[in-house]
């Protein structure tokens, strides 16, 4: 869907911000770019919608070079969400949401209906909020409007640059949960920049770890945790600590039993390391405690557990 072919960017002052990027983001994928500050995440993102011109290489969207798209067509078909809430302060929420549909000359009824439907998707009562100005909403609510505004004209691609990092932890978690729902329901191709590993583990289909303008590893959350390409990834993902997580209490992670014939059964005392290894091959495991099958654990619940554990240890962020 979005293909980077040997893409490099050198700024006018000589800074080589990204070098020889080669990867492809699949249709409908939630692709998270993560890495320390200054590693080239934002540059990579902004080259996709031509906010930053490439110095070398090519980016294709659906097999067509981005340079060959009409710039308006390109931008309208790519939703963009920034960290700073960028709603127009003098417009109502409804007017803000309808900016791109209006430019695309949608008819009034379709726009009205779309605004209502999107507000409901993120839990904001349309009748209460659509007529308000942005300043009459909380930061978390404004950012939710920022997200749905990017979705309003039904773009095929969404770019998000640290969209939740300015929010307090509670609003942030809430909007991440909304994002999970939107992801499930809309299946948009999304490129999401963050420096927060917990957020990446929670949302990503695949994570791209960058360092000094280069890609270090691309993989599913599971692959990065179980098979880090090098020490940098291992440290960044926090998996160095995986053997050090004192007692992974499998009982905390149990899901209801839902065995299939091929289910692997593990004792409740199995080490964290072994669990991760098994989960790299099996989607879920049955947990046995003294001869009784007490539930299942799956990749998702273990990754969640791991990311929460990292956060508690204060090592999830840069
Ligand atoms: P990140 O988003 O990972 O923090 P950026 O893509 O913003 O990284 O920046 C990558 C590198 O390019 C950094 O060294 C940054 O200082 C540099 N950079 C970013 N924008 C410019 C610019 N307009 N001119 C010169 N250097 C820049």
Quick one: tokens of 149? Answer: 């505004």
Distance 44 CA to ligand 1 centre (A): 10
The protein residue with its alpha carbon nearest to ligand 1, atom 22, reads 11
Q: What are phi and psi of 222, to 5 degrees?
A: -60, -45
Q: Would you state the pLDDT for residue 310?
A: 59
Q: Would you state the pLDDT for residue 309?
A: 64
Of ligand 1's atoms, which has the minimum distance to the CA of residue 213? 10
Distance 38 CA to ligand 1 centre (A): 6
Distance 16 CA to ligand 1 centre (A): 9
Exposure string of 270-298, with b = 16+ CB inside 10 Å and e = fewer, is bebeebbebbeeeebbbbbeeeeeebbbb
| pLDDT-based confidence at residue 278 (cuts at 50, 70, 90) | confident
Of 55, 74, 56, give the one whose Cα is nearest residue 64: 74
Q: What DSSP designation does 135 have?
A: G
- All domains of the chain, ordered by start, with CATH? 2-237 (3.40.50.300), 250-308 (3.10.580.10)
The protein residue with its alpha carbon nearest to ligand 1, atom 23, reads 11
Which range, of 49-63, 98-112, 174-188, 254-268, averages the lowest pLDDT? 254-268
| pLDDT-based confidence at residue 6 (cuts at 50, 70, 90) | very high
Average pLDDT over residues 144-153: 90
**Residues at CB less than 6 angstroms from ligand 1:** 11, 13, 15, 17, 35, 37-43
| pLDDT-based confidence at residue 259 (cuts at 50, 70, 90) | confident
Average pLDDT over residues 146-153: 89
pLDDT tens digits, one per residue of 280-316: 788 889 998 888 889 998 888 887 777 766 555 444 4
Of 236, 200, 242, give the one whose Cα is nearest residue 220: 200
Average pLDDT over residues 122-136: 94
The protein residue with its alpha carbon nearest to ligand 1, atom 12, reads 17
Q: 316 or 7, which is more confident?
A: 7
Q: Would you state the pLDDT for residue 311?
A: 55
Distance 300 CA to ligand 1 centre (A): 34
What sections of the chain are H helices per DSSP?
41-48, 71-76, 93-97, 99-103, 108-121, 126-129, 139-151, 169-186, 197-203, 221-226, 231-237, 272-279, 299-312
Distance 229 CA to ligand 1 centre (A): 25
Which range, of 21-30, 166-175, 217-226, averages the lowest pLDDT? 166-175
Q: Would you state the pLDDT for residue 74?
A: 92
Of ligand 1's atoms, which has the minimum distance to the CA of residue 36? 3
Distance 39 CA to ligand 1 centre (A): 8
Quick one: tokens of 36? Answer: 């320390």
pLDDT tens digits, one per residue of 35-71: 988 999 999 999 999 999 999 999 999 999 999 999 9
Task: Please state, rounded to an integer, the average pLDDT across all residues of the chain.
Answer: 87
Distance 271 CA to ligand 1 centre (A): 42
Q: Would you state the pLDDT for residue 248?
A: 62
- Indicate the pTM of the whole model: 0.78
Which range, of 89-93, 132-136, 148-152, 302-306, averages the lowest pLDDT? 302-306
pLDDT tens digits, one per residue of 208-248: 999 999 999 999 988 888 888 888 888 878 754 454 444 56
The protein residue with its alpha carbon nearest to ligand 1, atom 15, reads 38
How far apart are the C-alpha atoms of 240 and 119, rounded to whole Å? 42
Q: Would you state the pLDDT for residue 239?
A: 52
């Amino acid at each position: 869907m979005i293909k980077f072919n040997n893409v490099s960017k050198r700024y006018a002052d000589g800074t080589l911000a990204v070098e020889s990027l080669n990867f492809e983001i699949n249709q409908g994928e939630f692709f998270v770019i993560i890495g320390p500050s200054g590693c080239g995440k934002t540059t990579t993102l902004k080259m996709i919608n031509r906010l930053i011109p490439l110095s070398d290489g090519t980016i294709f969207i659906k097999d067509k070079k981005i340079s060959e798209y009409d710039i308006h067509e390109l931008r309208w078909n790519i939703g963009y969400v920034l960290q700073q809430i960028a709603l127009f302060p003098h417009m109502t929420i409804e007017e803000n949401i309808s900016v791109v549909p209006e430019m695309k000359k949608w008819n009034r009824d379709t726009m009205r209906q779309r605004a209502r439907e999107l507000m409901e998707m993120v839990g904001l009562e349309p009748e209460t909020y659509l007529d308000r100005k942005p300043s009459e909403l909380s930061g978390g609510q404004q950012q939710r409007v920022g997200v749905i505004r990017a979705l309003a004209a039904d773009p095929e691609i969404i770019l998000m640059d640290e969209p939740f990092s300015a929010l307090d932890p509670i609003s942030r978690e809430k909007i991440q949960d909304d994002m999970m729902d939107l992801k499930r329901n809309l299946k948009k191709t999304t490129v999401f920049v963050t420096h927060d590993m917990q957020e990446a583990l929670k949302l990503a289909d695949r994570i791209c770890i960058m360092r000094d303008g280069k890609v270090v590893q691309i993989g599913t959350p599971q692959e990065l945790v179980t098979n880090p390409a090098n020490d940098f990834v291992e440290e960044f993902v926090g998996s160095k600590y995986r053997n050090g997580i004192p007692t992974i209490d499998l009982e905390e992670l149990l899901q209801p039993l839902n065995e299939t014939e091929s289910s692997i059964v593990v004792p409740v005392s199995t080490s964290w390391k072994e669990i991760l290894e098994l989960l790299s091959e099996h989607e879920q495991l049955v947990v046995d405690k003294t001869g009784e099958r007490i539930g299942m654990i799956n990749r998702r619940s273990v990754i969640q557990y791991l990311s929460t554990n990292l956060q508690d240890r204060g090592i999830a962020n840069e």
